[in-house]
Structure 1
Amino acid sequence: MDTVTEPEPLFDLEPAQAAGPDFAELAGLPFDELMAPDWAAALAGVEAELRSVLTFLAAESAAGHRVLPSASNVLRAFQQPLDGVRVLIVGQDPYPTPGHAVGLAFSVDAGTRPIPRSLANIYKELASDLGLPPRIHGDLGAWADQGVLLLNRVLSVREGAAGSHRGKGWETITTAAVTAVVGRRTAEGITAPLVAVLWGKDAEGVRPLLGSTPVVASAHPSPLSASRGFFGSRPFSRANALLTEQGGGPVDWELPAVPPQLRPRSLG
């Protein structure tokens, strides 16, 4: 998301979630259990700040405020290895509608209907850019599995209150995350292919952290700004071209018609 917050549907049912730790339990877990091992090593310098934010979320929850996404998803962006990141897409903060936020910027749970309008615009541009069919679901997990880091600048929100967890410490942590991604681009003298995709002014705020990383920038896909430079920006083909120029392989941006968690189980 970005500073522009569009209304979201009010009547979606939140999908069932597997039982997991609450925020108080999360704050007490060993650091290397919170995320992939290489992310834990890279973010060790902000461990105290992360634990402080998680303690704040536990207090929010104890006070009766619903925090989104769930504790089991709040650090989902760091579950895939840092070493595999090759495209960085920066968002603002999670969707404030129950059932939408899943810990990946712009993505929603596979069962959410209708999908948020910013994501619908992303699908329109994907179809225009690469000719790929829009999906009725909003699960972008297949992108994350290929090394697309869908990172919000702020990783939590109070239900119904967009931007409510800004200034609580997340910015320090996500700044460290972007710095870590950029730092491994030239680690040990080997340049790892990397492209940053920046949509909107909040995303543009990380540009000073990117160094020589190639950037694809445009307006945000929000309905209020998509027509002012997002549509027609061809971010997906441009990102792939930049990856190829650096000696990397392209991302397969086509999402599955039916995400894994919605596929019927085989009877055989």
Structure 2
Amino acid sequence: MLHYILTRLQNTAWFGLLEPLSQTPTFSTLEHNYTASLRQAQAQNTQIFPPMRQIFRAFEETPFEKLHTILLGQDPYPGTFKHEHQEKPFACGLSFSVPRMAPLPPSLQNIYKELHASLNTPLSRHGDLRAWASQGVLLLNSILSVPRGQPKGHAHLGWESFTDGVLSALSQLERPLLFIFLGKVAQEKRKVLTHNPKHFMLCAPHPSPLAQARPPTFLGSGVFKQAQEFLQAQNIPMDWALD
């Protein structure tokens, strides 16, 4: 099932990086566990987010040739919102991003506040981050699926072995890359990176309001100011403002 979804990337440069990862025993275990979770959800009349077709959307939205930044989140949003009398998931396959018509999650509101404070970008009224992805920001989560209403409910499936492999492979690229790890869970991924002096790694507290209760906090961290300074030093254009 996951192999089938990955084949949608076979005509992209991502496939050369992802296909070897899909041939490992750990990916086979992940595929088995993910498929079992879908069956269980169906039996219990509940849902898995994001929709299966969006599982690898981060790679679909970010052209490999343009990749310059990896913004790592934890796992997809587990909740839903109502739009035109229909219930829809916040999770859309891109870390921190939500559908354009969705209300802004508190974490994303804080990301916008920090961008405004650091780079004077306007406070966007929507949470669709595809404009970042199209410019070269990989909006990747450590865990790529979640049961409805259960944060980190799929931490046991094997996703982190897969995303560890992705991050390790990316860190071996020779182009300058910016890795942004927000929160302790994301920062644990630092250990899988191959040291490369061309790359730049930034760590900051998670933007969730719960993480703002005691210092250090995400708000005031200057993480996006440092990110933009690195990109500009590499002559990499990036516009964080959203329409």
TM-score higher than 0.5 here? yes
Comparing 133-142 and 208-217, the one that deviates more:
208-217
Distance 2:42 2:9 in 1: 21
Per-residue CA distance 1:62-103 (angstroms, 9 max, x = gap):
323300011121111111333321111111000101220011
1:138 alignment partner in structure 2: 127
Compute the displacement of 1:251 (Å). Answer: 1.2
Tell me which of 13, 32, 46 is aligned to 1:52: 32
Task: Report the secondary structure of 1:172's partner residue.
Answer: helix
Q: Name the amino acid aligned to 2:101.
A: G
Tell me which of 9, 15, 32 is aligned to 1:40: 15
Task: Report the secondary structure of 1:29's partner residue.
Answer: helix
Distance 1:224 1:71 in 2: 29
Aligned CA-pair RMSD: 2.0
TM-score, structure 2 normalization: 0.84
1:222 alignment partner in structure 2: 208
Compute the displacement of 1:209 (Å). Answer: 2.4
Compute the displacement of 1:40 (Å). Answer: 2.0
1:89-100 aligned within 5 A: 89-98=71-80, 99-100=89-90
Distance 1:73 1:111 in 2: 17
1:140-179 aligned within 5 A: 140-179=129-168
Per-residue CA distance 1:233-267 (angstroms, 9 max, x = gap):
2222211211233x3313100011xxxxxxxxxxx
Task: Report the secondary structure of 2:228's partner residue.
Answer: helix
Higher helix proportion (structure 1 or 2)? 2
**Are residues 83 and 54 of structure 1, via their aligned partners in 2, closer, same or farther at CA, if it must alter by over 3 Å?**
farther
**Are residues 161 and 244 of structure 1, via their aligned partners in 2, closer, same or farther at CA, if it must alter by over 3 Å?**
same
Kept in 2: contact 1:240–1:250 (CA 8 A): no
Compute the displacement of 1:169 (Å). Answer: 1.2
Kept in 1: contact 2:34–2:157 (CA 8 A): no
Q: Name the amino acid aligned to 2:52.
A: A
Kept in 2: contact 1:60–1:67 (CA 8 A): no
Aligned residues: 223
Task: Report the secondary structure of 2:21's partner residue.
Answer: helix
Compute the displacement of 1:28 (Å). Answer: 6.2
Query: Structure 2: any 5+ residue segments left out of the alignment?
Result: 81-88
2:226 alignment partner in structure 1: 238
Per-residue CA distance 1:172-214 (angstroms, 9 max, x = gap):
1111111222122x1xxxxx12111111101111112232321
**Are residues 159 and 228 of structure 1, via their aligned partners in 2, closer, same or farther at CA, if it must alter by over 3 Å?**
same
Task: Report the secondary structure of 1:127's partner residue.
Answer: helix
Distance 1:30 1:182 in 2: 24
TM-score, structure 1 normalization: 0.77
Kept in 2: contact 1:77–1:151 (CA 8 A): yes
Question: Aligned residues: percent identity?
Answer: 36
Query: Structure 1: any 5+ residue segments left out of the alignment?
Result: 1-25, 187-191, 257-268
Compute the displacement of 1:117 (Å). Answer: 0.5
Compute the displacement of 1:27 (Å). Answer: 3.8
Is 1:252 matched with 2:234? Answer: no
Kept in 1: contact 2:110–2:208 (CA 8 A): yes
Task: Report the secondary structure of 1:90's partner residue.
Answer: strand
Distance 2:135 2:31 in 1: 28
1:112 alignment partner in structure 2: 102
Kept in 2: contact 1:110–1:139 (CA 8 A): yes
Distance 2:166 2:4 in 1: 20
Kept in 1: contact 2:119–2:225 (CA 8 A): yes
Task: Report the secondary structure of 1:45's partner residue.
Answer: helix
Kept in 2: contact 1:77–1:150 (CA 8 A): yes
Distance 2:172 2:111 in 1: 28
